[in-house]
Amino acid sequence: MPFHETSSLVSLEAFQAGVRDVCGNFQVLPPRGGRDMRGIITLNRRQALSVAVVENSAAEIDRDWRCIRQDSAEHLFLVLQKAGHSVMRQGDAEIRLAPGDFMMIDSAYPSHFVYGASGSVQYSVHLNRADFAHRFGTCALGGCSIPGASAIGLAMRATIDRVLEAEGAVPQQHFVSEAFFNLMGAYLCSLEDGELPSAATSSDLLVARTRAYIGQRFRDPDCTPAAVAEAMGVGLRALQRRFQAEGSSLSECLIGARLDYVRQRLHGQEATVGERISTIAFDAGFNDLSYFNRQFRARFNASPGEYRLHMVSPSPKSLTQ
């Protein structure tokens, strides 16, 4: 399916407004050399499914935390690359899509799309995030990829094509939509069981979005490992296993974020004006000063007071981390 040469030449603002109306709050960066671009976006509603057709010559499309804060809608976008090439990034994962490949994007976390110079055509199946998690569990939250050459990838491509062809045929829309969800269920069950290569991608994305969540919430004393797992929509032990597979732990990630915050404060202007260390520790999310002191010393080889004194009046003896 080639890029439509007849696609209207639209302004950056017009195309971005179309993306916002159909997909939510994203920032569109035009190709180098101008603010005009070729592109069109349309939304096709079919019973339980909505499919956006996005044709564009944009250089990049980005959804950062600022966009997310301004946009309360939470969806999963199953993106099918129909023509052209793109690179999709979410968390620490970077997926290169050729025609026929899929990527599930979670709108609750930042994502970044990069397009080739020849333009791109994509189908984006819009799925309610909460409903999807209730129906299939949480293994797809945070994103996952489906290789287009796989048997299930070929079946899903054909099914999405049939969804778009089923305009006006309500019984056909119903059965085709159910076929789509059955295929997704079969794929995700295999993904969760670790039977497919892309299960590693799903695990990486879950850990990446967990780290991003902790980076936003660690100063809340109620941000515990159990609360983080609940926010991610997975069991605590399952999330801990994902971190252990990377050679770290969920608790270390949370404590590390708090300790790094304290360290930065001790490096800052506050170090010279006598702000109480206990105030900084509580502000970082710690609620037990003895525990905080033990963790700080274990991490930085000095007590918080010694560390601040060294920062204010450096001595020849360095503090190791």
Does the pLDDT at position 245 exceed 50? yes
Residue 110 C-beta-side C-alpha neighbours within 13 Å: 18
Domain assignment of residue 3, yes or no: no
Q: Which residues contact 120 (CB under 8 A, 6 or more apart)?
A: 3, 54, 55, 56, 57, 58, 81, 83, 84, 85, 86
For the segment 39-68, the average pLDDT, to the nearest whole number, is: 87
Tell me how many domains the chain contains.
Answer: 2
Range of the structural domain that residue 222 is part of:
218-312
| CATH code of 244's domain | 1.10.10.60
My answer on whether 42 and 190 are in the same domain is: yes
282 and 179 belong to one structural domain: no
| pLDDT tens figures, 194-222 | 444 444 455 566 777 788 888 888 999 99
Q: Are residues 158 and 50 in the same domain?
A: yes
Strand pairing report for 102-106 and 111-128:
unpaired
Residue 80, in any domain of the structure? yes
pLDDT digit string, tens, across residues 84-98: 999 988 876 778 888
Q: In the predicted model, what is the mean pLDDT of residues 275-301?
A: 93
